[in-house]
Structure 1
Amino acid sequence: MTNMARGLSEQLAASIETWLAEEQVPAGTSLPERAVAERFRVSRSPVREAMQLLAQRQVIERRSEGGYAVCERVQAAPALALPPVDPDEPLYLKIAEDRLEGRLPDRLTENELMRRYEVTRARLSAVLRRITNEGWIERLPGNGWQFLPTLSTGAAYDQGYRLRILLEPAAILEPTWALDEAALRKCRAEQQALVDGAAEWASPVQLFDANSRLHETIAGFSGNVFMADALKRVNRLRRLMEYRKAVDRTATARRCKEHLALIDLLLSGQREAAADFMRLHLRDAAREKAGGTRAQPTAQAAKAGPLGELFMPKAG
């Protein structure tokens, strides 16, 4: 199973669990794969994988005669200070996976997409609007669509991180910097929710959006429109590569804790320390995602200034 397919299964599992809790589906209720697939408008293959995940979490259980049934008690998914999951998320992720795997050409029509995914024009249009807003597809004259370039190689992905390591700490030190405390505290609430447990079940899309929103919000405080725009462009390009990577829930929670430390430095007016912390945070995230070892940034190291890096353990 590809990382993108795994992400789709995880997202579908979270959606099924939320549905069971919100609808208060009685314990013992049978959950036929076909019925679940029809409800969430996906094929039976990701449903089967999602059901296996839910069985491991003891949300549902295997029946002796085959299939699954709801367990005695289903807890609602933890409250998350993030936008709710889009009901068309499975379709969105399937299009992303097919594009990354080379199963979709650069240009195609709405009719071709409707036939391929067996969806209505209205539902497809909603997903295409979302993808357009995210910057990886554009409408052509007529009813055609063209996918835009994204980061599709490991080398390009690494270059994106190197640019961020140069850009984001510098943005914090811009002379035109102006902190919007309300906006930063909103981001802090999202990160705290992830640390408090939502990182265990949030979808790859929710995780990417919450984390990129924080970094773009901080860059926006710089007052430098070129820096803010450059980061948004990098994030648009790397979005699909992030979806493709397997979600390491432990690493995700750890990075969110680092985000909280970074936010607290900014809220307390320690911009130089925050800039150094940001540099360490991005450097180590890049190493981690490339498969290297990491040196967790600390507020103490950040306060030591640029030379603080000399006293941090280095990757081999």
Structure 2
Amino acid sequence: MQVRIARDIVALVRRDVRPVGYHLAETQLAREIGTSRSPVKAALEYLAELGVVTHDANRGFFLAGDSSSLTDVAEQFASSPDEPLYLSIASDRLAGKLPDEVGEAELMRRYNVARTTLRKVLSRIAREGWIEQGVGHGWRFLGMIDSPDAYDESFVFRQSIEVTGLLSPAFRYDPKHLEEIRAEQQRIVDGGWSTMTAAELFDANSHFHEAVARWSGNRFIYDSVRRINQLRRLVEYSQTTNRKPRKGQAEEHLAMLDAIARADLFGAAALMRSHLDGARRLKSPGAQAFSGGGARTPSRAEGAAGAGRAGRTSRTR
């Protein structure tokens, strides 16, 4: 946990481009990361040992260098295991080595861990939505993005709900939140695509899509987007080795934010549909099997121009 939270702190500092000497307040970090102060303090002490932060007994923790100096540390954290047991279970399930239903005793023997350790990891997996507890000490795996077909289906699902969310009568965007998301995407375009870690790039992508889903005003759309992002996380980190497409995707995110800000939700919806279709064709291992011989998909510019003429009005809080 200490290493994981330290990694999250470094990611926040890099995301927000914090300067040297910036005060890292424990309470604020705990709120942003979603944990309590004690593990945050332990993580900050660990970062102090690494020389990333300095500690003043009376004033707290401060950045020893600016965010641009943390690339090596971020890469080091990215290359270290998130949670070995979690990753082992995920890897074995994706490889078909674990059946649909498993018992705790079987998993304890397989991974040579105590029940308390196993249950903590299974609880995390349950929160992410790809396992549920059965009767007694049994657990049942739920649907995952574990094949080319499933990956392709996930994009079709995302197109249906994310486009619908943009056209929801309850859509309300938060201008301050929009500017925060815009700044994060602009940093990727301005060079972050080549320096950010795989985890940071994925998180920035998730922040954008979850923000738009939240603005839909529909709790079910928002919850669905969050859950599918959790499932995507298991299989997408390796795809960031080809980083250049991340820049283009961030540029498309910016175009959608511009459309939302100028009250053109139909245009934003057309861009979202085209964006997800392009990402599906780029990333999905089985995408080409589904794309041959059909009608030509309109380009992003054509889609935006055609849909933008509808002139839908957006509402802000």
Higher RCO by CA contacts (8 Å cutoff, separation 6 or greater): 1
Alignment of 1:7-46 (within 5 A): 23-24=50-51
Change (3 A) 1:107 1:203: farther
Code of the residue aligned with 2:276 in structure 1: it is L
Aligned partner (choices 74, 91, 95) of residue 97 of structure 1: 91
What is the TM-score of this pair, normalised by structure 2?
0.59
Code of the residue aligned with 1:23 in structure 2: it is L
**1:122-172 CA distances to partner (integer Å, 9 max, x unpaired)?**
554443332211101122333332221223332232233223333322321
Q: Output the CA distance in 2 between the equivalents of 1:20 and 1:233.
A: 31
**Map of 2:30 onto structure 1:** none
Change (3 A) 1:125 1:247: farther
**Map of 2:164 onto structure 1:** 170
Alignment of 1:175-186 (within 5 A): 175-186=169-180
Q: Output the CA distance in 1 between the equivalents of 2:109 and 2:196.
A: 30
**1:45-68 CA distances to partner (integer Å, 9 max, x unpaired)?**
xxxxxxxxxxxxxxxxxxxxxxxx
Code of the residue aligned with 2:258 in structure 1: it is D
SS of residue matched to 1:89 = coil
Change (3 A) 1:135 1:186: farther
Q: Deviation at 1:192? A: 3.7
**1:90-109 CA distances to partner (integer Å, 9 max, x unpaired)?**
42333211110112232334
**Map of 1:55 onto structure 2:** none
**Map of 2:267 onto structure 1:** 273
For the aligned residue pairs, the C-alpha RMSD in angstroms reads 4.2
Code of the residue aligned with 1:89 in structure 2: it is D
Q: Output the CA distance in 1 between the equivalents of 2:299 and 2:48.
A: 38
Asked if the contact 2:71–2:196 (Cα under 8 Å) also holds between the matched residues in 1, the reply is no
Q: Output the CA distance in 1 between the equivalents of 2:195 and 2:83.
A: 15
Asked if the contact 1:284–1:295 (Cα under 8 Å) also holds between the matched residues in 2, the reply is no
**Map of 2:243 onto structure 1:** 249
Q: Output the CA distance in 1 between the equivalents of 2:106 and 2:194.
A: 36
For structure 1, which runs of at least 5 residues remain unmatched after alignment?
1-10, 26-73, 309-316
For structure 2, which runs of at least 5 residues remain unmatched after alignment?
1-6, 12-45, 53-67, 310-317
Code of the residue aligned with 1:257 in structure 2: it is E
Code of the residue aligned with 2:209 in structure 1: it is H
Q: Deviation at 1:289? A: 1.6
Asked if the contact 1:22–1:76 (Cα under 8 Å) also holds between the matched residues in 2, the reply is no
Higher share in helix? 2
Of 181-190 and 148-157, deviating more is 181-190
Asked if the contact 1:188–1:260 (Cα under 8 Å) also holds between the matched residues in 2, the reply is yes
Aligned partner (choices 142, 149, 174) of residue 148 of structure 1: 142
Aligned residues: 241
SS of residue matched to 2:132 = strand
SS of residue matched to 2:71 = coil
**Map of 1:218 onto structure 2:** 212
SS of residue matched to 1:77 = helix
- % identity of equivalent residues: 40
Tell me if 1:136 matches 2:130. yes
Code of the residue aligned with 1:150 in structure 2: it is M
Q: Output the CA distance in 1 between the equivalents of 2:236 and 2:71.
A: 24
Q: Output the CA distance in 2 between the equivalents of 1:89 and 1:143.
A: 25
Change (3 A) 1:213 1:24: closer
SS of residue matched to 2:122 = helix
